Chain A
Amino acid sequence: MIQQLIQYRIRVISFLVLVTLTLSVFWLYSLTLSKTAFASGILLLCCILFLAAYQWRKKLSFLSLGTATVWLQFHIFVGLMSSLLFLMHIGFRVPDGMLEFALFLTYCFVFLSGVLGWLLSRIIPYRLLSRGEQVIYERIPIYYRKVREAVEQLVSENLKTDEENAVADFYQKNLREFFSGPRNQLRHILHSRRHRHQLTQQVSQILPYLEEREQEAMKQIAVQIQLKDDLDYQRSLQSVLKTWLFVHVPLTWTLILFALFHTITVCAFASTSG
């Protein structure tokens, strides 16, 4: 633990040294009256390519390229540093050309989605652990099916020949929809339990009107409601973590394309000196 802490501190310090060095080189360069935008642009492009390389590192886990943890830390550090470079590169103002503006927006989205991802990866694991069984995302549909079958079994066991099928009616009216697939995604993301409370109340309201056997079945259905809701909770939060990557990664590739195009045009049409 202590060793890990020391290693982490060494990484933070080396990052700070790196940032200071980069900025001072950059400042010294600006003293020579050279066009600083060119230098900051090249550096920025290198940073973006390094940031994108993280995705490749994941695929090359069997090569001695350092652990994924260290890479992620540098990914975050370099990402932060790139934001400083970016601000300097655009001269602290919103660019006005079409391509530049698109580039500006893409960078902002990539950066913000990165920050959001980092926050999510810190917050969601805690929340996932707080409710329900720890299930593998891909297996959730199997659990859904099991829960639904258990409930339908309870309902069918309580079917009567006359018309007064209270449990079946209740299931049809209030629960069928709920058990048929993932529900209340947004509520779970916002950490609301309102729907769960409502369903539990509906179950307790019907209990006084049921026979003893039906009451017992209803209580068991209530347990399945909790199970299903916990599964929804796990699914919603895990899908946030998965969807986030589907936003961040394609945006990064768009950014690289724009940035390369921008670099080529700039190199083709501008001179590098003062």
Chain B
Amino acid sequence: MSEPSVTRPRRWDKPFSLEAGSENEMTDTDVEELLQLTPFCQIDSSGFKRSLSLQEILKNDARIVGFDDGDIIVRRGDWGSSAFLILSGNVRVELERGESSLPDEILGRRHRRMKTLWESFSQLWRNHREAEVREVAEVSGARPAMNTRLTRGRTRIYLQEVSAVLDKYRTARLEPGHWFGELAALGRTSRVATVFSEGVSQLLEIRWQGIRDILRYDTHGGLKSYIEDAFRERALASFLRTDPLFQECSTELMQRIVEQAEFYTFGNYDSSRPFKELNSNPLRITETGEPVIIREGETPRGIVMIRSGLARISQRYYQGRRTVGYLSPGQVFGLEVIQSGMKASVSQPCQTQLSAIGHLNVVVIPKELVEEILEQQNTTGNNAVTEPPRLSPTCQTVKIDDEALLGQLIDRNYVQGTSLMVIDLDRCTRCDDCVRACATAHDNNPRFIRHGPVLNHFMVPSSCLHCVDPVCMIECPTGAIYRDLGQGDIVINDQTCIGCAQCASNCPFDAIRMVDIRDSRGNLIVDSKTHAPLTQATKCDLCIDQRTGPACERACPHDALFRVDMQDAVQVEEVFAR
């Protein structure tokens, strides 16, 4: 047999400090210096494998980056896969949320403007005949979309008037030794605040793989407790208050809950691979390899609240298990069991089993504290022990009568969708009015194909689902694909999309298409140096700039096409019961 001509790439073939955006390669001296600093000096390095030592992790998964005054380090809403430790200088973090936070324009985001009535109407004749027409000025950078400058060999977005920003918006100063960004990196959520450099600063950036390994092998658990404490201190109380159970909790009790809550992580964080495997192998028994959180028949130690990811609820069925529901972020498992235990004055076993689908972060609130909340609610006249709690649709377990269909929706990972497109084939007359409406709303380029897997009488066409956990965003180098903060949709900014196709290859549903772009005369736009045609990523944007919302849904005359938020129990049940 001949020798293979290529060698399989390995994790550290290209250290983080040699990737685009880095300044200097990490040296052994840098690593030694880092090891003197907190929290690395508190980490027990004896627990690490020889091939995966703490030194190697820092050398290969971390880099030192410098920032100038006003440089934006992370942007609210972006998907981050790394955390930062401030080594020198100061950074500022914005404190306000919503209306009063830093506006999108100064953060270099495209201002999404709703089309005016006239603009909407004129689409009828102003849409281009050619496919995928773009304004050359926008994609060539002739009209910069944001304040960018070349800092230390890297193009960065920056705030022009730092002092004005400090005067106008509420921010807090973070000093050397402080970590940030670790919750978003490990919890696979978007950055909750914008952080920018105040003066010149130097930061250590660690990618999530490195943090994951340090957490795994550090027997003292220094970093783990640091991250947990940060979550406890900064976000846990407000996260818990999103559930009605905790809304009326007294401050003292909430304080104890925050102190005693436990955090667990299950499953594999690795980008989109698990979903892709599931999708390419629909026959795979989904129970295989799913870590179990609470077994059927076990008495729960407390309630489980999902922080990020999805969890399956299943029940024994003859010799196997069948899926009876699933939970998404913010939803709770085990409350009814504790309630019925209180009613019967003896602990009850769980009738169902909870397991992690892919990567899952949960918070467990000990049973005694839950009982205390229920008793407190009882004394205030809520009868919480005997009555099931009043839950908002987003807090309920998602269930469908047809369990086989539910199983398929989970196995194909459609439960990720916050706006899953579903066509009821019993009603669809294949008229394609939906596709035509989509094309009209997008300069004559339809953003979905009316074709896809058929589950019972429901077709799930090839269209963006607007996932809860959008893996497409993880590796976008320019942040061109982002979650619109107003509506939560995942959209692509044509002005910053460089056509690298990372998002398209990460999307497990093949919902992103790379297209060659053209000028208004129909000529391909080519790179001025290489003369290669320029490509850009395209996908459904839920008609974000149209006055009426998703055109496809409104255009279907037979009420056959609908968008479902798979996290909304009531909507899911209604839609799939038709």
Contacts and interface: CB of A to CB of B under 8 A. Distances in A.
Q: Do A and B bind each other?
A: yes
B554 interface: yes
A26 interface: no
Contacts of B556: 68-69
B452 to A, nearest CB: 9
A126 B426 contact: yes
B457 to A, nearest CB: 6
Interface stretch (A38-46, A129-137, A206-214): A129-137
Contacts of A68: 433, 554-557
B120 A62 contact: yes
A61 B451 contact: no
- Residues of B in contact with A, size category: 35 or more
A58 interface: yes
A59 interface: yes
A95 interface: no
A241 B558 CA distance: 13
Given A1-B577, A63-B121, A63-B548, A58 B429 contact: no
A128 interface: yes
A129 B551 CA distance: 25
Nearest to A134: B454
Given A72-B557, A121-B558, A129-B457, A62 B430 contact: no
Contacts of B433: 58, 61, 68
B515 interface: no
A170 interface: no
A64 interface: yes
Contacts of A135: 451
Interface residues of A, number: 29
B125 to A, nearest CB: 11
Nearest to A135: B451
B34 interface: no
Interface string A58-91: 1111111001110110000000000000000000
B440 A61 contact: yes
Interface string B118-138: 001101100000000000000
A238 interface: yes
Nearest to B573: A1
Contacts of B283: none
A52 interface: no
Nearest to B427: A125
B67 to A, nearest CB: 43
A124 interface: yes
Nearest to A59: B124
B59 to A, nearest CB: 53
Given A63-B547, A64-B548, A128-B425, A241 B554 contact: no
- For A2, A61, A126, A128, which residue has the most chain B Cβ atoms within 10 angstroms? A61
B440 A129 contact: no
B401 interface: no
Contact of A125 (B426, B546, B551): B426
A129 B426 contact: yes
B106 to A, nearest CB: 30
B298 to A, nearest CB: 36
Given A63-B117, A68-B556, A128-B425, 6 more contacts: A1-B577, A58-B437, A59-B124, A59-B440, A72-B558, A125-B430
28 contacts: A1-B577, A2-B574, A58-B436, A58-B437, A58-B555, A62-B120, A62-B437, A62-B441, A62-B543, A62-B547, A62-B551, A63-B117, A63-B121, A63-B547, A63-B548, A68-B554, A68-B557, A72-B558, A121-B558, A125-B427, A125-B430, A125-B560, A128-B425, A135-B451, A136-B430, A137-B430, A241-B429, A241-B431
Interface of B: 115, 117, 120-121, 123-124, 425-431, 433, 436-437, 440-441, 449-451, 454, 457, 459, 543, 546-548, 551, 553-560, 574, 577-578
